[in-house]
Structure 1
Amino acid sequence: MSTRLRNALSAALIALSCLLVPFGALAAWVTYGLADTGRYVTAMAPLAADPAVQGAVVDTVGAGIVHEVAPWLDHEIGARDEYGAVRPFVYDAVRSFTRTEAFRTAWEAGNRAVHDAVLSALQDGRQGAVTVDLAPVAAQVKRQLTEEHVPFAHHIPVEHTAVPVLPAHELNRLRKGYHVLEVAGFWLPVSAAVLAATGIAVAACRRRAITATALGTALGGAFLLLAVVLGRRLTLADLPEAAHRPAAGAVYDALTQTLRTVSWLLIALGLTAALVCRLTELLARRRRASAAPAADPAPGPTRARV
């Protein structure tokens, strides 16, 4: 095989390998990161102390409890006017609850329940919307309101109501994407490594091939980091309620922390490998130059003897 053909084949294989790097990292992150319940719960656990997340929980849970109490006040005792009086107490109680250890426990349990429900729906092929039960949280708030002698607190209903998490019409699309990523999460990184090794092996100058692979890997990491940043902006822009965007941003950052770390590692390792290859090349040139024998000086004109 000619040198030109070897270099062309090597360049094509290395370029394809570097193109697969960000996609392989993304697929592996979904398969081995998001799809793992333990890692998911660990990533979400610190958010229990995040003010934006606590505020979103207060709004959601407080509104749900007040919504359940209002019909009872209206139809059972005709005290609809008490609705406005009960609302601040409910929200204050929920806000206080978010600062307790019990909330952190409920937060982890709720995230585990949501993750298990979504993952089971993606894996077992069930139909219909994915739902979870938030009755334990409502029961804790009711208990706290009762202890604080808030009016009508003991009448707050604690029912096992199915709270929708994932609509049914999105489940089939997500299931297909999940199965594709489940396969790609293993084979894309393996394919990228095999293509890079093959491209380096067939190259006429392997040091240059390694340098190109390292720079391509760093570039792939940069593209992956850019995709994470753009994904955050698009995700927050699509939210219908702007008030919940800080909480959604905190959740997005927590879930993509590993992906951002992988992106920076790819950039750092790629640039480091390229720099090492460049330094070894310069060192090899210097050694060859110092090992070359010095050229003999040109002989001068011979003076004739008299």
Structure 2
Amino acid sequence: MSSRRLRTASSAVLIVLSCLLVPLGALAAWAAYGLTDTGRYVATMAPLAGDPAVQGQIADTVGEGILRQVGTGTAHGAMGPFVHDAVRSFTQTEAFRAAWDTANRSAHDAVLRALREDDDRPVTVDLAPVAAQVKRQLAEDHVPLAARIPVRHTEVALVPADDLSRLRKGYDVLEVAGFWLPVAAVALAAAGIGLAACRRRALTATALGTAVGGALLGVAVAVVRRVTLRGLPTEVSAKAAGAVYDALTETLRTASWMLLTLGLTVAGLTWLLARAGRRRGASVPAPDPTPEPAAPRV
């Protein structure tokens, strides 16, 4: 009896550890492989070029940057509406979509290069190409003083230099955890089920724990989204930031639903198979314990 209890306790510990690692492993794998793939990142961000909230945020940011370069005075006030309208018009063109993809690819490559190399320079993106396109659009529309708009290299910091060392350490940890945490979760689950005195119950517990882990992962994504949007500066559009967050975490939300569905499906099938087995056992008649009379000797 003590051996059976020890096996049951050890199996429970292994299964609990496995279920705890499931959401952590999914999160680490998403961060290590999903966010660091440049092609996948650009494809994920591409549809946002047509999002009205993102277009509005870019129009406001670029428009204000151009007006700051023009300076203050009558020209600034007179050109303000034309500049904003021109930038908004530009965000609805195919040229903007191409520039959006190029900017995202360049920014992503720059961030990865900074994380993988010992370069302490801040990671920046240059808005000059967008400003030049807007200036060209204003000139074609015969907006007064459009030719006087200076096109300067306006670099926006994506990753400050002070944060690079900390981010590199986190990136190195993610590269290891993104592979080993899912592997450890599967290995612990297999060991827990194999060690269990009742493997059917162990499989059911593992499946339910996986479902709970998937649900917790989905809740965590939603909570972080709400906290992130609440902490944004007033000049940043919450709708635009929410659209970007949703695009980046789409794979994570899909993984959450897959874990929840897989866990509940396996637990349900295990319960149905066990119930069917009990019914078959109950329908088989028990053997008659009365011995048959011996045949008379001749």
The answer, yes or no, to whether TM exceeds 0.5 is yes
* Matches for 1:1-306 after TM superposition, within 5 Å: 2-70=3-71, 80-241=73-234, 244-293=237-286
Deviations 1:6-42 (A, max 9, x none): 1111100000000000000000000111111111111
CA distance in structure 1 between the aligned counterparts of 2:149 and 2:156, rounded to whole angstroms:
17
CA distance in structure 2 between the aligned counterparts of 1:237 and 1:41, rounded to whole angstroms:
26
Aligned length: 289
Secondary structure of the 1:163 match is strand
CA distance in structure 1 between the aligned counterparts of 2:236 and 2:114, rounded to whole angstroms:
30
Letter in 2 for 1:147: E
Letter in 2 for 1:38: G
CA distance in structure 2 between the aligned counterparts of 1:48 and 1:209, rounded to whole angstroms:
48
Unaligned runs of at least 5 residues, structure 2: 291-298
Q: What percent of counterpart residues are identical?
A: 64
CA distance in structure 2 between the aligned counterparts of 1:243 and 1:121, rounded to whole angstroms:
26
CA distance in structure 1 between the aligned counterparts of 2:222 and 2:235, rounded to whole angstroms:
19
Unaligned runs of at least 5 residues, structure 1: 75-79, 298-306
Identify if the C-alpha distance between structure 1 residues 121 and 243 changes in structure 2 by more than 3 Å, giving closer, same or farther.
Answer: closer
1:174 deviation in Å? 1.5
RMSD value over aligned CA atoms? 1.5
1:156 deviation in Å? 1.6
CA distance in structure 2 between the aligned counterparts of 1:292 and 1:130, rounded to whole angstroms:
77
CA distance in structure 2 between the aligned counterparts of 1:175 and 1:257, rounded to whole angstroms:
25
Find the counterpart in structure 2 of residue 304 from structure 1. none
Question: TM-score, with normalisation over the residues of structure 2?
Answer: 0.94
Deviations 1:194-253 (A, max 9, x none): 000001111111111110100000000011001100110111111111651110001000
Letter in 2 for 1:146: A
**Does structure 1 retain, via aligned residues, the 8 Å contact 2:7–2:197?**
yes
CA distance in structure 1 between the aligned counterparts of 2:59 and 2:272, rounded to whole angstroms:
57
1:290 deviation in Å? 1.4
